[in-house]
Amino acid sequence: MHEHTVGKWRRRFLKDRIEGLLDEARPGRPRSIADDQVAAVIERTLRSKPDDATHWSIRSMAGETGFSHTTIRRIWTAFGLQPHRSETFKLSSDPLFVDKVRDIVGLYLSPPNRALVLSVDEKSQIQALDREQPVLPMMPGMPERRTHSYVRHGTTSLFAALDIASGFVIGKCYKRHRATEFLDFLKQIDAQVPRDLDVHIIMDNYATHKTALVRAWLARRPHYHVHFTPTSASWINQVERWFAELTRKQLRRGVHTSTSELEQDIRTFIERHNQNPKPYRWTKSADEILASVKRFCQTAERTLCGEL
């Protein structure tokens, strides 16, 4: 603090002792809303709904309480209330959830020596979409515009393996996503992986990954080690983050008149990504993840018990 601030409070203490440390009345208009009125607004926001909507808006709450919309905004902002927002969640019911989280996060944070850790998954049913009318390009003061309707030109499925250490991606498109295609993709991985390295594959519990044909192929290669993610926990598979990047940069606003054109764009995206690959940094330990899940479950339990 500045020396003048310290001197001011010392003088106030010498003059009025403990009472001098209390904050003095400030100039300006006094408060017109009491604490119990603020509490009533918060209670109504949390415990009730308007008759004609699923959640309150600032103006509907203002009309209900008689306060101005700026007052409601200040109250909601002060207490972190955002009725217009809603998030989804799904808790895994996997009985081995804890063990699988520790196993996979351990591979991310401390991969074994002389081993390759690959995050593997497929992005199925990628649609080759073309707009019914030409896309209007962006202009000064006007965003890019496109028709809401589109024409489908078939689908493709992308199998991808992300090297968590380097960010390098191995990918291949197939017309279908059966065990046959997945086995062929494993052979593509095997052809590009050095023979003297152990290979740890992280993938989900999709039935295509667990057929007898796939298990037999893996059993003949003892240097391959499979780690299954917990059910309903795709967020722990790092290749999903790369899929999100592919969707955002290439697929969401892309225009494709055929599946071959779509697949070519995907291959080009993979090639450009691999020219300067960057790994994703995993920041949370298994203990932190499990503690967060525990807190969420406790909060949900208290909320449900309060409603009951």
pLDDT digits (tens, 9 = 90+) for 28-53: 887 788 889 999 999 999 989 998 89
Q: Are strands 150-163 and 169-174 parallel, antiparallel or unpaired?
A: antiparallel
Binning pLDDT at 50, 70 and 90, where does residue 307 land?
Answer: low
Give just the sign of the alpha carbon dihedral 180, 184, 186, 190.
positive
pLDDT of residue 306: 63
Both tokens of 197, joined, read 């390295």
DSSP 251: I
pLDDT above 50: residue 303: yes
Place of tokens 């306060």: 67
Residue 293 class from Cβ within 10 Å (0-12 exposed, 13-18 middle, 19+ buried)? middle
Give just the sign of the alpha carbon dihedral 74, 76, 77, 78.
positive
Q: Is 25 or 296 the better-scoring residue by pLDDT?
A: 296
- Say if CB 2 and CB 36 are below 8 A apart: no
pLDDT above 90: residue 205: no
Among residues 192, 236, 7, the alpha carbon closest in space to that of 102 is found at 236
pLDDT of residue 183: 93
Per-residue pLDDT of 128-144, as tens digits, reads: 988 888 888 888 988 88
pLDDT of residue 308: 45
- Say if CB 256 and CB 265 are below 8 A apart: yes
Place of tokens 């997945």: 182
**Average pLDDT of the segment spanning 245-251:** 92
Average pLDDT for the chain: 90
pLDDT of residue 59: 93
DSSP string, 85-117: ----------TTHHHHHHHHHHHHHSPPTTEEE
Under 8 Å CB-to-CB from 215, ≥6 apart: which residues? Answer: none
Spatial distance between the Cα atoms of 169 and 279, rounded to a whole number of angstroms:
10
DSSP 191: H
Q: Hey, which residues does 151 pair with through a beta bridge?
A: 130
**Average pLDDT of the segment spanning 161-172:** 93
Give just the sign of the alpha carbon dihedral 248, 252, 257, 263.
positive
Q: Are strands 150-163 and 115-131 parallel, antiparallel or unpaired?
A: antiparallel
Task: Please report the beta strands in the chain, taking only residues with DSSP state E, as ranges in sequence order.
Answer: 115-131, 150-163, 169-174, 198-203, 224-228
- Say if CB 259 and CB 152 are below 8 A apart: no
Q: How many C-beta atoms lie closer than 10 Å to residue 231's C-beta?
A: 16
Binning pLDDT at 50, 70 and 90, where does residue 200 land?
Answer: very high
Binning pLDDT at 50, 70 and 90, where does residue 302 land?
Answer: confident
Q: How many C-beta atoms lie closer than 10 Å to residue 75's C-beta?
A: 21
The interaxial angle of helices 212-219 and 179-192, nearest 10 deg, is 20
- Say if CB 257 and CB 130 are below 8 A apart: yes
Maximum C-alpha span of the chain: 88
Domains along the chain with CATH numbers: 3-24+31-79 (no CATH), 96-287 (3.30.420.10)
0.85 exceeded by pTM: no
Binning pLDDT at 50, 70 and 90, where does residue 304 land?
Answer: confident
**Average pLDDT of the segment spanning 194-217:** 90
